[in-house]
Structure 1
Amino acid sequence: MSSYALTDETAIDILIFWIASTDGSISFAEQGAVKRVLENMNYTMNTYHKTMSQIGAMSTDHVKKMIEEAIVYIRSNFSDDGQRLTYSLLDTIAHCEGGPKKDLNEKLERLKKEWGV
């Protein structure tokens, strides 16, 4: 288990990072989509930025482990509706620039399978 304590909000933040950074960067359109998604969930950009700063200080292997833990956290701690909502919000971010590419589709398909949505 990681030394990073997951909450509902930080688990979502980690998966937002995973989806939004698939192409190696987070675009202005993706940043706008993230802001809208977090506002819709009544979460703060403050926590998101803190989580992103902490991710930036982690090794690649640690980030990969955190992503796995976030997926499991959501599966274990969110209701079916919560998992569907989280998937929908991540899908919104993935599609904010027109449509997900192959790598993004693979990530979204994995989440569908993991969460049964």
Structure 2
Amino acid sequence: MSTYALTDETSIDTLIFWIESSDGSISYKEQEAVKRILSNMKYDMETFQKTMSQISAMGTDEVKQMANEAVDHINRSFSDDGKRLTYSLLEAIAACDGTISKAEQEKLDAIKSELGV
């Protein structure tokens, strides 16, 4: 179990980071898409930035573990509609730079399967 306490918001933040960083970097288009989407959702960008800072300091295995815990949290806490919306958000962020990479698609497929959407 990670040392970072997951909430509904930080679980989504974690999965956003997990998807965004699939190709080894987070592009400007991805960053801007995240800001635009989250602000349209009236989302707390301060929480998002704090979570991103925390996660970016972790090693790959820790981030993977935290992503798994985030999916578990979402499965316990979100309705079926909430799970579908979360998946759609992640898919939109992955596609914002014009293509979904193989690594992004593999992660999206795993999340989709685990969320049962």
Q: TM-score, normalised by structure 1?
A: 0.94
The corresponding residue for 1:113 is 113
Q: Deviations over 1:74-105 (max 9, x none)?
A: 11110000000000000000000112021111
- C-alpha deviation, 1:52, in angstroms: 1.0
Gaps in structure 1 of 5+ consecutive residues: none
Cross-structure match for 1:54? 54
1:29-40 pair list within 5 angstroms: 29-40=29-40
Structure 1 residue 20, shift from structure 2 partner: 0.6
Q: CA deviation at 1:65?
A: 1.1
1:13-52 correspondence to structure 2 within 5 Å: 13-52=13-52
* RMSD of equivalent CA atoms: 1.1
Deviates more, 1:38-47 or 1:99-108: 38-47
Deviates more, 1:50-59 or 1:5-14: 50-59
Percent identity between the aligned chains? 63
Q: What is the number of equivalent residue pairs in this alignment?
A: 117
Deviation of 1:58 (Å): 2.0
Output the CA distance in 1 between the equivalents of 2:106 and 2:41.
Answer: 25
